[in-house]
Amino acid sequence: MLVLRKAFLGFFLLTLFTSIEKRAPVTEALSSVVALGANIICNRIPGLAPKQRAICRSRPDAIVASGEGAKMGLNECQYQFRSMRWNCTNLQEEESMFGFKHIVGNKEASYSYAINSAGVAFAVTQACSLGKLSKCGCDKTKKEGIYTSSGWKWGGCSADIKHGLKFARKFVDAREIEQNGRTLMNWHNNRAGRKALIDNMKTDCKCHGVSGTCTMKTCWNTLPPFRKIGDYLLSKYSRSKHVKAANLDKRRLPTLLIMKRNALRKPKRSDLVFLDKSPNYCDYDPTTGSLGTVGRKCNRTSTRTDGCDLMCCGRGYNTHQYTRTWQCNCKFHWCCYVECNKCSERTEEYTCK
């Protein structure tokens, strides 16, 4: 019964999200949230912490955007890690609608949390700019003004990044209900994700004036492509910092993170941080959250992480032969049809033993 309810809810939210992506009238989807009652929906979303449920009830429209943001984060993570042993797949898939579950506080968890919170901040900011949310819109501090002496002014709709960041901080950080080192780690990485978004914001301009001279410009702040955030955080991941939790007062709970190797130093706000070492992800081990690489596709000739040697951890690989067919040599005939040949090729695919 519980499973059935969850499945139904999942379906409901999925329809909600797809209706937002595919069809423009978002208000339609949102009004259905309102019609169904924020209470009912918010009580049934699996895996929300109590504080998150309260936020959900007061801002159901922003929760819809957050769900999209979390999905963007997950897709980006799976793209970035597609050719590595850990490919951003976790054991508790089901609860991952609004975030990730990581048993161990390792580097991979740090990336997941950062991209998730960046995704939520991104999607909420974007929804604000598109006029989808009731409590935000364009950045009011960058309203259309007058040209400066250098012929420059704000105009159009600047992304209200501050609103998106604030919402993401409140909503995503509220997932942590304990107070321990892991909480500090998750908060740090959530903030690093939001910071990645701020640091990659850009300004677009439109030129006015006599053709092409660009003597006058109207500019607005805009979100970067989300891929840029994914790339940026991947470079942070590869230089992520090993930290430990410390308490200034021994009787109290941990209050800050310090570098594992140098207790006098704190990690930077933009650093991704981890408490625990990662497993090698070669074998299935639920205690470390490792799915193993059995059955993963690999590249026989590559010497990188997607190569069969590294991907399969020396266990060897299976070869599958198949025939690939596709349309080729297409010719356009006047007018109006296209004629193609069918090409085929024997190819091989390799999967880890």
Ligand X SMILES: *[C@@H]1O[C@H](CO)[C@@H](O)[C@H](O)[C@H]1NC(C)=O
Site for ligand X, rule CB under 6 A: 78, 87, 89, 291-293, 296, 299, 301-302
Q: Of 265 and 304, which CB lies nearer to ligand X in the complex structure?
A: 304
DSSP bridge pairs for 138: 159
Q: Of 243 and 352, which CB lies nearer to ligand X in the complex structure?
A: 352
Count CB-CB contacts under 10 A for residue 292: 17
DSSP alpha helices (H): ranges in the chain? 2-22, 26-36, 38-44, 50-58, 60-80, 107-129, 161-173, 181-199, 226-238, 308-311
Query: What minimum distance in Å lies between the beta carbon of 9 and ligand X?
Result: 24
Q: Of 99 and 289, which CB lies nearer to ligand X in the complex structure?
A: 289
Q: Of 80 and 126, which CB lies nearer to ligand X in the complex structure?
A: 80
Query: What minimum distance in Å lies between the beta carbon of 293 and ligand X?
Result: 5
Query: What minimum distance in Å lies between the beta carbon of 74 and ligand X?
Result: 10
Q: Contact, 294 vs 353, CB < 8 A?
A: yes
- φ, ψ dihedrals at 249, nearest 5°: -105, 120
Q: What is the distance between the alpha carbons of residues 25 and 43, in angstroms, rounded to a whole number?
A: 25
Place of tokens 């470390």: 288
Q: Of 222 and 351, which CB lies nearer to ligand X in the complex structure?
A: 351
Q: Contact, 107 vs 280, CB < 8 A?
A: no
Query: What minimum distance in Å lies between the beta carbon of 71 and ligand X?
Result: 14
Query: What minimum distance in Å lies between the beta carbon of 347 and ligand X?
Result: 9
Q: Of 12 and 79, which CB lies nearer to ligand X in the complex structure?
A: 79
Token pair in block for residue 180: 């321990």
Q: Of 154 and 350, which CB lies nearer to ligand X in the complex structure?
A: 350
Q: Report which residue type is found at 293.
A: T
Query: What minimum distance in Å lies between the beta carbon of 88 and ligand X?
Result: 8
Query: What minimum distance in Å lies between the beta carbon of 298 and ligand X?
Result: 9
> H/E element holding 126?
helix 107-129
Token pair in block for residue 164: 């998106």
323: left (phi over 0), alpha (psi -120 to 50) or beta: beta
Q: What is the distance between the alpha carbons of residues 1 and 273, in angstroms, rounded to a whole number?
A: 40
Q: Of 63 and 352, which CB lies nearer to ligand X in the complex structure?
A: 352
Q: What is the distance between the alpha carbons of residues 135 and 123, in angstroms, rounded to a whole number?
A: 14
Query: What minimum distance in Å lies between the beta carbon of 80 and ligand X?
Result: 11
Largest Cα–Cα distance of the chain, in whole Å? 83
241-246 and 256-259: which strand pairing?
Answer: antiparallel
Q: Report which residue type is found at 331.
A: K
